[in-house]
């Protein structure tokens, strides 16, 4: 009697299923680990790209979610001007129902961490800053390049935010709320008058985002106003010396703008 030859049975789909689940589990775990332990320098690269190199996080440590770095102001990609904030800044980033919640702290300049909510969306993102107050060294401005690298300002920057939110939609910047930046007792190597004065820069959002510059006190008088058009700031202002201080401030005034009689015209954008 002839024997009939048979092929070995093929593995059933049920037998293959554990391997499929193992591969899927490994891929999911790898992706979760990549997200959970994303290095802090990814955040540093994103900030440098968004600010065109003017704000940088140097020597980042930790992860995107919990990290620290040295914060540096620069004049941009092609500039050699830079100024580092004293000490390091640290952050904690957590996902939430309305986006990402961040607590950001610079021990040199903040009494308490600043809460920030970031909500990415199609075509842009929105950033909400809680009401906050902090103090910063005016020398940081030197890192931004011209004209600050020539003026070499010293003094204190007092920042106050009031329900400030920034939204970028399809390349258009929209601002709600407001902020005040007080430049207190500022000095410059270009003048023998110390200090030159104190000034206030007010940002007010709404349908039209405006910027107002005024003098609180001092020998150097400043005033001006501006408006954001898309992502571009257009600002027009004036600077002049208080009565009896013209000779002492002549050199400084020449450096910061275009002369128009006894005044200097300030223009951005």
Three-class SS of 159-191: EEEEEEEEEEECCEEEEEEEEEEEEEEEECCCC
Residue 242 has pLDDT above 90, yes or no: yes
Condensed to tens digits (0 to 9), the pLDDT of residues 47-96 reads: 888 777 888 899 999 998 999 999 988 877 777 778 888 889 999 998 88
Same domain, 98 and 211: no
- Full residue range of the structural domain in which residue 166 is found: 122-268
What integer is the mean pLDDT of 236-247?
92
What integer is the mean pLDDT of 211-232?
89
Asked whether the CA dihedral 107, 108, 114, 120 is positive or negative, the reply is: negative
Tell me how far apart the terminal alpha carbons of the chain are, to the nearest angstrom: 100
Condensed to tens digits (0 to 9), the pLDDT of residues 113-135 reads: 999 998 887 777 888 988 889 99
Query: Would residue 20 count as lying in a domain?
Result: no
Residue 11 has pLDDT above 70, yes or no: no
According to the model, what pLDDT value does residue 149 have?
A: 79
Same domain, 151 and 86: no
Mean pLDDT of all residues belonging to the chain? 82
- Which residue, 87, 109, 131, sits at the end of a domain? 109
According to the model, what pLDDT value does residue 231 have?
A: 66
Share of the chain above pLDDT 70, in %: 84
Share of the chain above pLDDT 90, in %: 32
Query: Would residue 15 count as lying in a domain?
Result: no
Query: Would residue 215 count as lying in a domain?
Result: yes
Same domain, 132 and 216: yes
According to the model, what pLDDT value does residue 24 have?
A: 44
What integer is the mean pLDDT of 183-205?
92
According to the model, what pLDDT value does residue 222 have?
A: 94
Same domain, 159 and 262: yes
For residues 25 and 84, the model is more confident at 84
HSE-up of residue 246 (Cα within 13 Å, Cβ side):
6
Condensed to tens digits (0 to 9), the pLDDT of residues 128-167 reads: 988 889 999 998 888 877 777 788 889 999 999 988 998 8
d(CA 67, CA 60): 7
Same domain, 82 and 177: no
Same domain, 52 and 149: no
- Map tokens 């092609």 to a residue: 78
Query: Would residue 166 count as lying in a domain?
Result: yes
Same domain, 85 and 140: no
Query: Would residue 171 count as lying in a domain?
Result: yes
pTM for the whole structure: 0.77
Same domain, 255 and 126: yes
What integer is the mean pLDDT of 216-228?
93
For residue 135, give the nearest of 167, 109, 106, 115 by alpha carbon: 109
Count the domains in the chain: 2
Query: Would residue 149 count as lying in a domain?
Result: yes
């Amino acid at each position: 009697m002839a024997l009939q030859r048979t092929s070995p049975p093929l593995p059933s789909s049920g037998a293959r299923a554990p391997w499929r689940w193992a591969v899927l589990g490994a891929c999911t775990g790898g992706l979760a680990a990549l997200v959970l332990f994303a290095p802090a320098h990814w955040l540093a690269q994103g900030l440098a790209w968004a600010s065109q190199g003017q704000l940088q996080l140097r020597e980042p440590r930790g992860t995107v979610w919990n990290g620290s770095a040295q914060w540096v102001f620069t004049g941009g990609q092609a500039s050699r001007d830079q100024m580092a904030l004293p000490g390091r800044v640290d952050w904690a980033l957590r996902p939430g129902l309305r986006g990402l919640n961040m607590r950001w702290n610079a021990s040199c300049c903040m009494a308490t961490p600043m809460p920030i909510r970031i909500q990415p969306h199609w075509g842009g993102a929105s950033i909400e800053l809680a009401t906050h107050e902090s103090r910063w060294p005016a020398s940081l401005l030197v890192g931004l390049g011209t004209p600050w690298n020539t003026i070499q300002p010293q003094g204190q920057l007092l920042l106050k935010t009031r329900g400030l939110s920034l939204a970028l939609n399809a390349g258009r910047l929209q601002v709600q709320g407001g902020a005040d930046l007080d430049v207190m007792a500022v000095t410059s190597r270009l003048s023998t008058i110390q200090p030159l004065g104190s000034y206030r820069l007010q940002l007010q959002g709404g349908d039209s985002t405006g910027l107002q510059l005024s003098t609180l006190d001092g020998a150097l008088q400043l005033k001006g106003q501006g408006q954001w058009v898309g992502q571009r700031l257009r600002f027009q202002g004036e600077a002049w010396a208080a009565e009896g201080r013209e000779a002492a401030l002549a050199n400084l005034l020449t450096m910061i703008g275009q002369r128009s009689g006894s005044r200097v015209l300030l223009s951005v954008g």
